[in-house]
Amino acid sequence: MIVPGTRFGSYEIVGALGAGGMGEVYRARDTKLHRDVAIKVLPKMFAADPDRLARFEREAQSLAALNHTNIAQVYGQVELPAEAGSHSVALVMELVEGEDLSQRIARGTIPLDEALSIAKQIAEALEAAHERGIIHRDLKPANIKVRDDGTVKVLDFGLAKAIEISAPDAKVGATAVMNSPTFTSPAVTEMGVILGTAAYMSPEQARGKAVDRRADVWAFGVVLYEMLSGVRPFDGETMTDALSAIISREPDWKALPADAGRSVGPLLRRCLEKDPRKRLQAIGEARIALEAPFAPPAPGAVRQGGINAPVVAALVVGALSLGALAGWAVTFGRQRQPTTVPARLSLPIAPADSLTGGFVLSPDGSQVAFIGQLAGRNQIFIRRMDRDEASALSGTEGASVVGPAFSPDGRWLVFTATGTLKKVPADGGPVAILAQTSAGGNSRPAWGPDDTIVFSNTARGLSRVAASGGEPQVLTTPDLKGGEMAHEMPWFLLDGKTLLFDVRRSTSSSNSGSTMIVALTLATGDRRALFPGMVLGFVGENQLIIARDNSVLSLPFDTNRLAATGEPTAPLPGVVNAQPIMFSTVPLFTVARNGTMVFLPSRAGEGDHPMMIIDRSGTSTRMAVPPHRYSDPRVSPDGQRLAVHVFEEGRDNWIVDLRRGSFMRLTFDVGEDETPIWSPDGKWVFWTSTRGNVNRAIYRKASDGSGAEQMVWSGDSHVHVGGIT
């Protein structure tokens, strides 16, 4: 402790203000400028580490350049006199009077209006810092001051980075926690490392990965949730409990007050996405949302969609209902940021028992057609936005899960079923057969403005047929020798002269290197490759909606030059890219020309499952491995290892050491590797895969990961290896 009256330079210590993971804080008097300041004396470990001191000085210079109303100003740094003990360096900072946010929350939940005002100022502070390349890394209520006049000041920007251990000296555990907020742990305090409050760490921090500004977005969401509910969304008695909650559990959304859940619930869900790629990508998006008036509509009200005020609708499968979210503008010509707060309404899919496949909006956005199940069989249902429930279309039983497509005038639907292309009036009527299609029905057809329909043919290419029927014309054929698997998801440009479609080189819908958007000039047959690693979702007048990796984005597009006119914008909120269903890829979003979007909302960790071991008595034990989208688990003959397919990691096969809980990736090809099985002696793992020019083959590799893969069988049929004798 530094005693009051101690002087160094123009500063005189008045008294102690507190102590924490980042050091001791004192009130001091600046005798030259006649103002009170805060002196933050950094931990003793700095004195013996010149490299860390030098790095801290560089970071302090960056922090001093931050000048924003909602950021506590760093004035500079000073060296302390000998009477300060083994301390050697301190920061001179703006003294912010008032209580910190943790003290305010301790008194009870914060009313919505007040919480939103505080949150907006926090977002503005973070945005200003992020624009200068500074990440807070330690955002929590204790680092947020609220003055009596309501002004918010965020403290300790970048200090976690400034004092972290340099790479040569860092151990794995220390690196993980130094990327995280302050949590004191005996295991690391012996090294002199300060860790923070685990409850505010992002999942990537909890896993020890590198962080970027999206970690601050997560912490912002945690703080906003805590202000509104009075409890932390992720907590536990120990640090391990808290980290486990962050990685594997969802917040209790019911803990939010009803008005807060309706107004800011969608924003909080985006901030607290466990996958940083799906999370809100910039805190400025949160600021814009918070600046809008929060006025949820009356129950059952529908906001009218259009280019100036479009509606975003969400299919909520778990509740067997269709919901609507208004607030993300899909304007065809430019991408607008959210200007209103999302609002929900119920649109039941009854009488369907469940949603089992794709869905599509009519061009004017007035109705949505979807594949549902009734009495155990798929068929098409149509739901008009001005009616109370959906209607089943007779004669569409057995419709492919990829879903139907509307005619340009919205009066007809075209779909595939049992290897045939069919059409049916949208308001019900006789079904007409148009042509033979790919038996798998692997792609939704497209109905062009010239009244022709493009569909997947039996060779997995594309053909065209008149909407009135007739002899189909082959448009494309996959180049199997060049590695092409199929041509899918055709879309007409508005003039009907050019067709855009996806070329798929692998059945792995999650692998961005396996797809290409291609343009076909119908009059000449000329093809032009446009965008690798993207999947087409919608073609507008001056805009494409595309899927890349697991995000859905808007891409400005010149339909005359067939070229992008800008970069893809930030992902649309909570929209799922696509989902494989019965060996077909079903986009889980659809867009109408008036700006309406219907989509299946994503949820953090959705599809992830813990790994469980069940013994012969039926007792289940959770394995010490993180949840993932696992499938096809096979235990080795000696019971010590597990071969498993991991969906989101490139659709590859992995080996899990059941004793240590460690992972080893076994396969690395862009093809889909699945159904791993063990040889009887446990030395080999066999699996089926799509590789290069082969539709389906069986491979093997040494189970310890050594050596090269070996193809042991190939063929044209869709097979899976089931066992070895």
List, for residues 469-479, the tens digit of each pLDDT value: 889 999 999 98
- Is 297 part of a structural domain of the chain? no
Indicate the SS3 state at residue 126.
helix
Rounded Cα distance between 346 and 191, Å, is 55
Answer for the pair 226, 251: CB distance below 8 angstroms, yes or no. Answer: no
Give domain status of residue 179, yes or no. Answer: no
> Are both 460 and 567 inside the same structural domain?
yes
pLDDT digits (tens, 9 = 90+) for 214-239: 999 999 999 999 999 999 998 877 77
Looking at the fold, whether 464 and 425 belong to one and the same domain comes out as yes
The CATH number covering residue 135 comes to: 1.10.510.10
The C-alpha atoms of residue 688 and residue 700 are separated, in whole angstroms, by: 9
Whether 4 is covered by a domain: the verdict is: yes
For residues 435 and 513, membership in a common domain is answered with yes
pLDDT recorded at residue 244: 82
| 29 lies in some domain | yes
Question: Do the domain assignments include residue 318?
Answer: no
**CATH number of the domain within which 701 lies:** 2.120.10.30
Under 8 Å between Cβ of 382 and 598: no
505/403 same-domain check? yes
* Residues 520, 592 within the same domain: yes
53 and 128 share a domain?
no
The domain tally of the chain equals 4
Quote the CA–CA distance of 100 and 221 in Å, as a whole number.
Answer: 17
Q: What would the pLDDT profile of 654-696 be if each residue is shown by its tens digit? A: 888 877 666 788 887 766 788 899 999 999 999 988 765 456 7
Q: State whether 268 and 406 are in the same domain.
A: no
Q: For the full predicted model, state whether its pTM sits above 0.75.
A: no
Rounded Cα distance, 34 and 121, in Å: 28
Q: Which of 52, 72, 95 represents a domain boundary (last residue)?
A: 95
Considering only 78-87, 145-154, 552-561, which range has the smallest mean pLDDT? Answer: 78-87
257 and 391 both lie in a single domain: no
Same domain assignment for residues 79 and 112: no
Q: Is the pLDDT of residue 175 over 90?
A: no
Amino acid 626: pLDDT: 67
pLDDT at position 351, please?
A: 80
| φ and ψ of 681, to 5 deg | -90, 0
Q: What one-letter code names the amino acid at 491?
A: W
| Residue 334: inside a domain | no
Residues spanned by the domain of 225: 99-163+196-292
Task: Please indicate, yes or no, whether residues 397 and 488 belong to a single structural domain of this protein.
Answer: yes
Please say whether the beta carbons of 629 and 647 come within 8 A.
Answer: yes
224: which 2 tokens?
Answer: 């906003």
Domain assignment present for residue 582? The answer is yes
395-421 confidence digits (pLDDT tens): 999 888 888 999 999 999 999 987 789
Residue with the larger pLDDT of the pair 98 and 121: 121
> Which of 59, 74, 95 is the C-terminal boundary of a domain?
95
| Residues 511 and 632 both lie in one domain | no
Structure tokens at 709: 């893969």
168 within some domain: no
- For position 552, what pLDDT does the model report? 76
Q: Of 270, 292, 314, which closes a domain?
A: 292
**Residues 588 and 617 grouped into a single domain:** no
Average pLDDT estimate for 513-524? 86
**What does the CA dihedral 504, 509, 514, 518 come to, rounded to 10 degrees?**
40
**Strand order from edge to edge, sheet including 535-539:** 535-539, 543-548, 551-558, 563-564
Q: Which residues are catalytic?
A: 138
